[in-house]
Amino acid sequence: MKYTPLTEPLHDYICTTFSAENDFLRQLKRESDAAGFPAIHIAPEQVALLQVLLRAVGAKRVLEIGALAGYSAIAMARALPDGARLLTLERNPAHAEFVRRKVQESALENIIEVRVGDAKQLLRTVDEAPFDIVFIDADKAGYSAYLDLALPLLRVGGIICADNTLAWGNIADTGTSDATVQALQRFNHAMSAHPQLQSCLIPIAEGMTLGVKLS
Ligand SMILES: C[S@@+](CC[C@H](N)C(=O)[O-])C[C@H]1O[C@@H](n2cnc3c(N)ncnc32)[C@H](O)[C@@H]1O
């Protein structure tokens, strides 16, 4: 075996040692639950990964597709320098309103902007490019379209990353008839085969595919 299976104790160890989740983010998740939003925020260990990526590329401009309650946006903003901007696109107005409130509470309104609408439309009108990091975490059916629309907005040397790319353990099922799994398979293939990207898939939480833009 060429890998270490992620047991519960190992997962606990990683989360305890490297989690970048803080009290504000834990409270945000409680309020998100109380608001009836789905509990589909990124995992605490992914917060650490995103913050490392942001700092590694010296990110000053970040684009997120899919905000939900603002957990990942606020977590990412905490790793950005003064003067940085994070634009997050969110289709659901109730989610966007919630995020705006939490952004104000965390005094990050100078960094985070929430734009409401279908990301496939909004991406065509974004004029804040180039971005240093693009994080895709919205509807899985849209992932390949988001790659096509967002890659031109990413600077060379920037990173595009997407969540849930192990498709809840089903990504290797080539005979699947599940449209969501098929969409993620198409997306991973596009990321791995793209001539402008050097990519990998990290088996963290539900899986995260990353690609650095080469040209
Ligand atoms: C998985 S959640 C995002 C979680 C968030 N990134 C986090 O970790 O805190 C997906 C979000 O994408 C939004 N969404 C789904 N389809 C969308 C679309 N076409 N355009 C914009 N947002 C969309 C949903 O309303 C939902 O809030």
Domain regions of the chain by residue span = 8-213
What residues are in contact with ligand 1 under a 6 Å CB criterion?
40-42, 66-68, 71-72, 89-92, 95, 118-120, 137-139, 142
From residue 45, alpha-carbon distances to 22, 126, 187 in Å are 12, 30, 23
Q: How confident is the model at residue 52 (pLDDT cuts 50, 70, 90)?
A: very high
Chain segment 96-139, per-residue pLDDT in tens: 999 999 999 999 999 999 999 999 999 999 999 999 999 999 99
Chain segment 54-79, per-residue pLDDT in tens: 999 999 999 999 999 999 999 999 99
153 C-alpha to center of ligand 1: Å?
19
| Residue of 91, 99, 100, 165 to test ligand 1 pocket, by largest number of atoms within 8 Å of CB | 91
Looking at ligand 1, which residue's alpha carbon is closest to its atom 2? 68
Long-range contacts of 167-174 (CB under 8 A, 24+ apart): 167/140, 167/206, 167/207, 168/206, 171/207
Domain 8-213 is classified in which CATH homologous superfamily? Vaccinia Virus protein VP39 (3.40.50.150)
Q: Is the pLDDT of residue 142 over 90?
A: yes
135 C-alpha to center of ligand 1: Å?
11
Chain segment 143-195, per-residue pLDDT in tens: 999 999 999 999 999 999 999 999 999 999 999 999 999 999 999 999 999 99
Looking at ligand 1, which residue's alpha carbon is closest to its atom 19? 118
Three-state secondary structure of the chain: CCCCCCCHHHHHHHHHHHCCCCHHHHHHHHHHHHCCCCCCCCCHHHHHHHHHHHHHCCCCEEEEECCCCCHHHHHHHCCCCCCCEEEEEECCHHHHHHHHHHHHHCCCCCCEEEEECCHHHHCCCCCCCCEEEEEECCCHHHHHHHHHHHHHHEEEEEEEEEECCCHHHCCCCCCCCCHHHHHHHHHHHHHHHCCCEEEEEECCCCCEEEEEECC
Looking at ligand 1, which residue's alpha carbon is closest to its atom 10? 138
| Residue of 87, 139, 163, 180 to test ligand 1 pocket, by largest number of atoms within 8 Å of CB | 139
- Which atom number of ligand 1 is nearest to the Cα of residue 164? 1
